[in-house]
Structure 1
């Protein structure tokens, strides 16, 4: 079949796949799946993954079919988009579509609703998300779009190395959102898929180059001399150089070795994404999923906000409540939100008659905190000075935003704190309640099975309690007693930095841990005793400002005061906080009416860890219990551990060197093949040199026209171009095939010399870019990215 016939669309009876398309499409699907595996740490595995991969497979199969019909690249992309729309519509929105697959206005509205639902879950949920219908639809549809993009890059453009960058970026995105330990199995799987694509593409090019004998080449090209310059008389571009099997394997092994070094050695040294580098300060983030270990072990203590309150003491500040306990972790509460308003954002606090309410006003000024949860005192009844980006969750009286825009916010919160006497709270029940707690069954449920030790200790410690309140005081006193030790480091292995049942069981045996272990153990034990409980993530009360002349009501909150504590719901009073963490905060204790009368301040109090009777706790170089006198000097003297930054710098340096090293290996391989009289290798070396300096190398341009264009530049020696042109024309049209008629040394020397001349024409900065990041690694000669017109 002649060249024009090959480029025309075929009938269905003439269809046959292009060589290698099926293999490349299969490799693309495997690499896409491998790059999606890390996202399971953000979104739980479910049916959405099966549907997503099914849509991706169907789209890739459509691409193989369309290319087998000899459709142009644009036609292939259009066919895949049409299939994507039809499949997504038919699978998710068939009732709203015409003939089940043709979308209508109702389909667009339903898709918009699904996207809104997905965004809401992403915004207010915490990893790992249990995907709702909207999130499942969005993930499946996005996977289909990714399949279209990667199919175009890998199969149409034949640039698997560029696709590898996309696959790696896709796999790294979940690690940025939810930091986790390195997963070597997922990395090896993705590396194998990427190396398979690169190896397959290289092998296909070698086979295609090796099957171009002289007689066949004559049928591809016009041998008559051109009547005029330009691409209109074009002959086919020279066949690609066949890489040797050993060199290709060595290059693949080199890429894999560099990747392993970066992943296994340098990645653990990189700084946590929770702290962003700055000049003298840090913007701190909050992980509301109760994974606070890394946050608390930060090497530098940072001032995150200041608080000014009308009350007698600085309040605890909450950012999120966690009620749903799966047995392995606690999930932040999600629910309906309302726009922020000055006076009616929250409902009024409802308490039984006779329970005193203490009204206070607190102003919060955020300095170095980037989060979508605003720290607020509890229970808030009003908030002022916030913009439209913020909404309130009335169920737990917290404030959430659409983006991480908390840094620099200043706002005023009004609270009404229930202040029962000890007699009133003892008369209240935490085991048989109605109202807010009863409406939330997740506040009392426990997964099965619960380790026997947890229930046994809960009942033993509270055996002598006469009331629910007394039982909780017994638990609080036990945790804060001499049997337990506050520790951020013991033990650090075996999932210790989690709040699940297994960690609680280990904590109760070891009796060493930090706030998440104390809070989680307390909340679970309360549920075992039949009470409604939850966990709060927020900040301990701040320290009075040490600034000279500061307002006595101004308090400073540091990043090391990030904290978690439990709450238990009491009938007629509401959610009551407790403080079981040894050495931190102030334990809950309500006063008797006779001693202080109603309205006495019971919890929290302004005492700091340094003012309590418990020993100071050393938190990896930062003391939570610093006094006002030495806090400023300690913060000024804090030093930054240089190891993470050195590791990051070395990692970036290696990453920057990788493209240049790969380009160097490829050029050495081409020159080695040219020395062995492979004219195609020498010509490909020349084409890639031109691409590296920014020249176009279209498929429609013959070798003679390309050589004429290079010669017209004026800085390439014509004799060297003549050697290369003579070699490729003999290889294409002579009987010797790819071999250069015993001109191997001359062709290799000429190719290297021409490349040197081309690079010398560039400015120093452009020459450096061409060497460090060779454009030819991503743009193949004659590909759609190599230029459709002659420059």
Structure 2
């Protein structure tokens, strides 16, 4: 051992340290948590299907709300996601998260924080007062196996939970239940919640937040000042004395009377800003309406955010609502001092199945009530009427997709194949590679002409001036190549049908052993094997190779005889996974590995020659 070479113990220590660091970095990425795990994120697609989608905003924190549902929502078929049973006759939307950080790409969610949800939760009764009615209800939620995320769907103000362990936390600011360690798939739990309703008078009585209030500073921020938005908001809120009147004016702006309509396919604009394009084109779906209203409310100096969850849908059995991917929805929440977060849904009710409206935010597109006797029937009310003139079927077709302001939906997409079909197809293609390689190799060898190939030479005729003679002779080089190709194909055929091959034998010895051990009772196969052995022997050792023989028919005869004597499993493997191809690949990999090892050793030796320790050791020796 040279004095400059590291000791085995030091080398082992460095290797263990490198492995430990690699495990410490890679293992957390593969463990499911708030990020869903690296493997889970790679299996998700960006998706443009119905429901929440991935949008263009994403999140800035650990919880990626869009990606957590992309795998389940990027489907053309309807999938049941949540079943909720509640004692409330007409509940508001079941929510699971909020996006309260506005960036140029759209609304994004911050990482929630809180305390265990199985302990005492904040009591909203302190906000009860004149004009505010609070009623406590009980709900039971069952999440299907089609929905897996680190967030738990609940109604807005839960006060007590059951069947949730300490790993589930509650954030009172965002009003969401989340976990850093578990997911919601297949869980069933119950909770009590408070439903708060407000009168317009109570909202008008709320005082504006001070300019230095933390909620106002954080949740009125916009990424940039947009002159078109500022001018629109200034005109809408002009003369409005209270925050509620300002919010109501912005809310009523998104109405059919102002040209707004619900449509899945949005239109592009030339302004270069998504918010301006939406306000100009006035066409969009829930993510545009929710984010657009929240942006305008923030521009008016009032805190606002985007909440998303599920509408009540159209599948109801008594007190149980079955919510699907068609019921995913987004709406706006506005903060009022002393009252908290109040919901406003600016999306046209005709485009959302199970849409709900309230006294403080009525449906601006609903027909005016008529008095009896005018010949016009009163318009129906309630969730069943929210589908609009086209009925529930039309509402089910017009579903929401996401939350990012700039999101758009594609044209009608053809039915998508399930993910496992692509996996099966890829596996079949992978299994077919050896067979295709074997067929290609056989065709390349058999594509040559039979060994009767001749060469034509033109010479002058001395007896008759002006005439030329054509001399025909065998092409020795081509004959040798044909013999070698036929022999190589014979050896591969023997390997495919599990006949031993000894590369140290002469061609004649191999042919004699094949005849003696396998083909002794088949005269045609015996003659063909002898012909192939003789042709290869002449091509190797004789001055003149064997010409004029039909080698390809001889190959087919021998192959047919071997196939007839082999069992079914051997014949199937010879056709599907030819052992000759696999053997050639293994040999090639072994040779490549050996060359790489030798190259690595030479490179390492050259690099170590300049090791400082070795140079110092040589100098000390001198």
TM-score normalized by structure 1? 0.50
Equivalences for 1:191-340 in 2 at 5 Å? 288-289=65-66, 300-336=77-113
The residue aligned with 2:158 is: 380
Match of 1:570 in 2: 336
- Residues of 2 paired with 1:588 and 1:743: CA distance? 97
Q: 1:519–1:580: 8 Å Cα contact kept in structure 2?
A: yes
Map residues 62-461 of structure 1 onto 2, 5 A cutoff. Answer: 104=17, 108=20, 114-115=25-26, 118=29, 123-125=33-35, 176-179=43-46, 288-289=65-66, 300-336=77-113, 342-344=118-120, 347-349=122-124, 352=127, 354=129, 357-367=134-144, 369-372=146-149, 373-386=151-164, 396-400=174-178, 406-428=184-206, 432=210, 437=215, 441=218, 443-448=219-224, 452-461=227-236
Q: Relative to 1, partners in 2 of residues 1:463 and 1:115: Cα closer, same or farther, differing over 3 Å?
A: farther
CA contact (8 A) 2:209 2:216 kept: no
CA distance in 1, matches of 2:183, 2:566: 45
Give per-residue Cα distances to partners, 1:682-716, cap 9 Å, x unaligned. Answer: 4554565566668999xx96576995897787369
Q: Distance in 1 between matches of 2:395 and 2:388?
A: 19
**Aligned to 2:396, which of 593, 618, 622?**
622
| Residues in 2 aligned to 1:296 and 1:487: alpha-carbon distance in whole angstroms | 19
Give the conservation status (yes or no) of the 8 Å contact 1:307–1:362. Answer: yes
Partner of 2:301: 530
Whether contact under 8 Å (2:87, 2:319) holds in the other structure is yes
Name the residue aligned to 1:508: 279
Query: How far apart are the structure 2 equivalents of 1:490 and 1:615?
Result: 21
Partner of 2:587: helix, strand, or coil? coil
Task: Give 1:540 shift.
Answer: 0.3
**TM-score w.r.t. length of structure 2:** 0.61
> Among 296, 304, 322, which residue is 1:556 paired with?
322
**1:616–1:623 Cα contact (<8 Å) kept:** no
Query: Given the alignment of the two structures, is residue 714 of structure 1 paired with residue 518 of structure 2, yes or no?
Result: yes
Asked whether the equivalents of residues 538 and 564 of structure 1 are also in contact (C-alpha less than 8 Å), the reply is: yes
Question: Are the equivalent residues in 2 in contact too, given 1:479–1:580 (CA < 8 A)?
Answer: yes
Structure-1 residue corresponding to 2:457 = none
| Structure richer in helix, relative to its length | 1
Is the Cα–Cα contact under 8 Å of residues 579 and 588 in structure 1 kept in the other structure? no
Structure 2 residue matching 1:343: 3-state secondary structure:
coil
Structure 1 residue 524: Cα displacement: 2.1
Q: 1:691 to 1:401 in 2, by over 3 A?
A: farther
Residue 564 of structure 1 and its aligned partner are, at CA, apart by: 1.3
| TM-aligned CA deviation for residue 563 of structure 1 | 0.9
Shift in Å at residue 722 of structure 1? 5.1
Q: Retained in 2: the 8 A contact 1:292–1:516?
A: no
**Structure 1 portions without partners, runs of 5+:** 1-81, 87-96, 127-134, 139-169, 182-270, 276-286, 547-551, 592-605, 626-640
Residue aligned with 2:447, SS: helix
> Contact 2:104–2:223 (CA<8 Å) still a contact in 1?
yes
SS of the counterpart of 2:264?
Answer: coil
> Residue 103 and residue 721 in structure 1: after superposition, are their counterparts in 2 closer, same or farther (change >3 A)?
same
The 1-side partners of 2:67 and 2:381 are apart by 25
For residues 448-483 of structure 1, give each alpha carbon's deviation from its aligned partner in whole angstroms, at most 9, with x where no partner exists: 4x6543443333333343222222222222213432
Structure 2 counterpart SS, 1:306: strand
Structure 1 residue 359, shift from structure 2 partner = 2.8
Cα shift readout 1:80-136 (whole Å, capped 9, x = no counterpart): xx9xxx9xxxxxxxxxx98xx66549x83x66664476468x85359xxxxxxxx9x
Instruction: After superposition, give the CA deviation of every residue in 1:640-681 in whole Å (9 maximum; x if it has no partner).
Output: x99656999899779947745565334312322585525554
Q: Could you say which residue in structure 2 is the equivalent of 1:581?
A: 347
Aligned: 1:668 with 2:443: yes
Query: What is the correspondence of 1:570-609 to structure 2 with a 5 Å cutoff?
Result: 570-583=336-349, 584=352, 585-590=355-360, 608-609=382-383
Aligned match for 2:384, one of 610, 615, 618 = 610
Is the strand fraction higher in 1 or 2? 2
1:538 and 1:772, CA in 2 relative to 1: closer, same or farther beyond 3 A? Answer: farther
Give the Cα–Cα distance (whole angstroms) in 1 for the partners of residues 161 and 582 of structure 2: 54
2-side partners of 1:573 and 1:389: how far apart?
30
The CA deviation at 1:428 is: 3.6
On the 8 A contact 1:688/1:781 being kept in 2, the answer is no
Of 780, 785, 791, the residue aligned with 2:584 is 780
Aligned in 2, Cα 1:353/1:403: closer, same or farther, shift over 3 Å?
Answer: closer
Q: 1:292 to 1:653 in 2, by over 3 A?
A: closer
**Maintained 8 Å contact 1:687/1:781:** no
Larger Rg computed on CA atoms: 2
- The higher-RCO structure (CA 8 Å, 6+ apart) is 1
Displacement of 1:774:
5.6
Post-superposition offset of 1:411: 1.3
Q: Report the alpha carbon displacement of residue 436 of structure 1 after superposing the two structures with TM.
A: 7.5
Change (3 A) 1:685 1:309: same
**Structure 2 CA distance for partners of 1:435 and 1:760, relative to 1, 3 Å:** farther
Counterpart contact for 1:565–1:579, Cα < 8 Å: yes
Residue 537 of structure 1 and its aligned partner are, at CA, apart by: 2.5
- In the alignment, the residues of structure 2 paired with residue 570 and residue 695 of structure 1 have an alpha-carbon distance, to the nearest angstrom, of 86
Q: Give the secondary structure class of the aligned counterpart of 2:276.
A: helix
State the alpha-carbon separation in 1 of the partners of residues 176 and 499 from structure 2. Answer: 58
Aligned-pair CA distance for 1:581: 0.4
Cα distance between partner residues in 1 of 2:171 and 2:559:
65
Residues 327 and 642 from structure 1, CA distance in 2 versus in 1: closer, same or farther, beyond 3 angstroms? closer
CA contact (8 A) 2:290 2:330 kept: yes
Structure 2 unaligned regions, length at least 5: 1-7, 54-63, 362-379, 400-412, 451-477, 592-622
